[in-house]
Structure 1
Amino acid sequence: MTIILFLFLAALLAGLPVFIALAGSSLVYTHFMANIPDFVVLHRMAGGLDSFPLLAVPFFIFAGNLMNSAGITNRIYDFAVAIAGWMRGGLAQVNIIGSVIFSGMSGTAIADAAGLGTIEIKAMKDHGYSTEFAVGVTAASATLGPIIPPSLPFVIYGMMANVSIGALFLGGIIPGLFMTVMMMTYVWWYARRHNIGADQVFRWRVLAITFIAAAPALMTPVIIIGGMTMGWFTPTEAAIAACAWAMILGLLLYRSLSWKQLYKVSLDTIETTAGVLLIVAAASLFGWVLTTTRLTEYAAEGLLSFTTNKYLILILINMLLLVVGCFLEPIATISILVPVLMPILQKVGIDPIHFGVMMTLNLMIGLLHPPLGMVLFVLARISGLTVERATMAILPWLVPLMLSLAAITFIPELTLWLPRYMGLLK
């Protein structure tokens, strides 16, 4: 088993794609060490993809791409300006509110950063904010994307942990709002310290106009969450409904989405989905190898022999996830670590819904840092900053993010109260 882990890490360090590192190291075991027939290997990989909830992945990706291409982000931003532009630190507060709204449509941090980020950074720079501050607040607020439902990582986690995706979606709402308050408080403190005022006067008329323009787009999270809560459709069907609604908005209502753009969005979705599913298939095989070699069992026994204190275990797992999140993309990390960590969670009584939200936030923080922080690289390219300067700009924002992570880790009811209240948890 040591050889397999060594080969996996060596492949990653050599710069090979994650799915090749996962599948290649697994095949060394199945073909040369365990002499497992090839058809069994293929069956395990295909079995990892044979999941109805996994159908939600391409549809949520498609919905997020449609929102970006259809010009819906501009309407969301204008509405956010009307809501929060009058506050101290105006456009920085708008940045956060815009991410909260867009999080209910995209489901990924990268879509948030690339879609709204382009508009937000330019607007903040035009109003005299430093590029570093604009990049920092945009990066931090992008972490809300997968916490506030819908969430692509929640779909993958729910499949790997065999828990309700609907409960995960509801479980992310209060933690997401808590993170929003923490970030807005930090902006208020920063603005007061640097004597930054509001960027526009609050006007009810402007708020009404921008709300009417954005109202159809704002219906997207209502359709997704409301439909699932009322039992009208499953998370997968909710993703399909979100796509249908986004197409109606772009093609018929706003008429900002051309057929040529729709074709390009479809190709982009296919490309992204193929990458995600390759990782899921390879990670399914890798997880099966870890299970058959009893590594998951040994890991659980080793950690529990060190301590059985639930909160100390949560601290250790947080530390592990924060480090791993800097080197692996979230989908791969979830696919690899959930089978390893789940036996430990069960033995010490950690709720898997609570852990799913905690794990996702850890991995979103990892997206903000080198060497593989995709949000960092996207924002560095958009803003024109070097990766080093963008990294330094993001560092102060770790304070509200880490405080939020601590609260979500040690106050499980932040995550569990709403799904329990809605009857999705006992």
Structure 2
Amino acid sequence: MGIYLVPIAFFGFLAFGMPVGFAIGVAGMIGIIDMGPRFMTMAPDRMFAGLDLFPFLAMPFFILAGEIMNRSGITQGLVKLADTLVGWLRGGMAHSNMVASVMFAGITGSATADAAAFGNTLVPAMQKAGYSRSYACAVTAAGSIIGPTIPPSTLAIIYGSIMGVSIAGLFAAGILPGLLICGICMLVIALNAKRKNLPAGGPRPTLCAVWAAFREGFLAALLPVFILGSILGGFATPTEAASIAVAYALFVGGVIYRKLTWQDLYEVCVRTTRITGVIFLIIASATILGWWMTFNQVPQAIARAMLSISQEPAIIVGLILMLLLLIGLVMDINATLIILAPVLAPLTVQIGMDPVHAGIMIILALNISLMTPPVGACLFVLASVTGEKVEGITRELWPFILAEVAILLVIAYWSDLTLFIPRLLGL
């Protein structure tokens, strides 16, 4: 009975608007009750155990570092640097948006932070330059998923922690996919520039202008290099690097730029606590649901179902991608990752995939769902920040979505590309 009641309850709660963390938790408790009363006393211990992982400490620190950089205005230097480098192209501000997303990704690792920051700054600027608001929002949404792909990525920390995969390896493997997403989105912008009559860029920058922009954005651009260098070089764990990133952001924002007030610090701490609390609630609740799934051998059933369709690794990978993209349409990506990773990761091992390669494939597939309706988080962030309707953003997004799905397929089926940097670094 519970095998049917739990999914019905979960999707029913979501349909009635219950927050996803509570929906997962209540559905999981229904499953635990069905397992037997004696399991109820074990539920709190299971929830705590799901959070009692040292690498999870990195998440709030990376989120806090990004919030400090945002609040202190340091990231504006990154936007200016990106605009200097590519703003002279036709559709230059759209190209700048993408390049700035790559730079911003190395600071926050968050798609929604990218969408909120650029929705407040770049979207109005693009409107003034002659872009439609819906197109400006679409470009911002498409670039925002670079955030949780390029390290430091919150999803990589979650996946590596719960699956026992090297977080440093996942960080290294996310660099090329993130750059490829940026490149193909810039190609989409360039191909549509004339058809959409995008504004022409300004004159090519001089070396002096590039140097001036680089000096202004240097301190912000140095942070992701510092984070990655310390982790990939083996000098610090992701958690240690995250805490160092907070100290660096506080020093640059408060001492060098002098743009942080005590009120700012209070607000960034509150916002970090809220974001972290939501993620940790989902993780704890998903631990209960995952326990119920394991008890009822749901992962094994899904694996058998997929293997019954075909034994070919290429087809299995296609089925996994289809499942992730479809579920991502209707479910929060953190919850999807925590619930499905223990189900799908053993299946990828069974067909011979490298754990780091499989992890990046799963993470990228879920990142794409951040900009697909009806529950794409970046769409709703941009809609609330800019006032543009979700339907309008979605209409302009489809070329970018298709392009990024193409990159997903390349990443999924070309393991050497994904693992090139990890192998180069010996991870």
TM bin, normalised by shorter chain, reads over 0.9
Matched position secondary structure for 2:193: helix
Match of 1:85 in 2: 87
Q: Deviations over 1:370-398 (max 9, x none)?
A: 22111101112333221211221212222
Cα deviation for residue 163 of structure 1 reads: 0.2
Match of 1:138 in 2: 140
Match of 2:72 in 1: 70
Match of 1:293 in 2: 296
Q: What letter is aligned with 1:359?
A: I
Query: Which residues of 2 match residues 349-360 of structure 1 at below 5 A?
Result: 349-360=352-363
CA contact (8 A) 2:135 2:393 kept: no
Match of 2:161 in 1: 159
Q: What letter is aligned with 1:111?
A: A
Matched position secondary structure for 2:373: coil
Match of 1:216 in 2: 219
Match of 1:247 in 2: 250
Q: What letter is aligned with 1:323?
A: L
Cα deviation for residue 343 of structure 1 reads: 2.1
Q: Deviations over 1:252-273 (max 9, x none)?
A: 1111111110111001111111
Q: Deviations over 1:235-267 (max 9, x none)?
A: 111111111111111111111111110111001
Change (3 A) 1:380 1:347: same
Within 2, Cα distance between the matches of 1:100 and 1:200? 23
Match of 2:209 in 1: 206
Query: Which residues of 2 match residues 13-24 of structure 1 at below 5 A?
Result: 13-24=15-26
Cα deviation for residue 194 of structure 1 reads: 4.3
Cα deviation for residue 88 of structure 1 reads: 2.5
Within 2, Cα distance between the matches of 1:27 and 1:122? 45
Within 2, Cα distance between the matches of 1:192 and 1:21? 47
Cα deviation for residue 403 of structure 1 reads: 1.5
CA contact (8 A) 2:61 2:243 kept: yes
Change (3 A) 1:120 1:10: same
CA contact (8 A) 1:297 1:343 kept: no
Matched, 1:406 2:380: no
TM-score with structure 2 length normalisation? 0.96
Q: Deviations over 1:19-73 (max 9, x none)?
A: 2222212222323442234331111111001100011111111111111111012
Match of 1:384 in 2: 387
Out of 363, 367, 379, which is 1:364 matched to? 367
Cα deviation for residue 150 of structure 1 reads: 0.6
Within 2, Cα distance between the matches of 1:6 and 1:350? 33
The gaps in structure 2 that reach 5 residues or longer are none
Match of 1:191 in 2: 193
Match of 2:9 in 1: 7
Within 2, Cα distance between the matches of 1:378 and 1:89? 24
Within 1, Cα distance between the matches of 2:88 and 2:95? 9
Q: What letter is aligned with 1:9?
A: F
Moved more, 103-112 or 365-374: 365-374
Within 2, Cα distance between the matches of 1:64 and 1:358? 25
CA contact (8 A) 1:117 1:138 kept: yes
Matched position secondary structure for 1:144: coil
Q: What letter is aligned with 1:355?
A: A
Match of 2:42 in 1: 40
Matched position secondary structure for 2:5: helix
Moved more, 199-208 or 339-348: 199-208
Cα deviation for residue 13 of structure 1 reads: 1.8
Runs of 4+ with >4 A deviation? none
Matched position secondary structure for 1:36: helix
Match of 1:334 in 2: 337
Out of 399, 406, 420, which is 2:423 matched to? 420
Within 2, Cα distance between the matches of 1:26 and 1:195? 52
Within 1, Cα distance between the matches of 2:16 and 2:132? 37
Cα deviation for residue 280 of structure 1 reads: 0.4
Within 2, Cα distance between the matches of 1:388 and 1:311? 34
CA contact (8 A) 2:253 2:259 kept: yes
Cα deviation for residue 192 of structure 1 reads: 3.8
Moved more, 245-254 or 33-42: 33-42
Q: What letter is aligned with 1:336?
A: I
Q: What letter is aligned with 2:216?
A: A
Match of 1:122 in 2: 124
Matched position secondary structure for 1:157: helix
- Give the alignment's Cα RMSD to 1 decimal: 1.4
TM-score with structure 1 length normalisation? 0.96
Q: Deviations over 1:274-330 (max 9, x none)?
A: 111111011111111111111111111121121111111111111111111121111
CA contact (8 A) 2:114 2:144 kept: yes
Out of 110, 113, 124, which is 1:111 matched to? 113
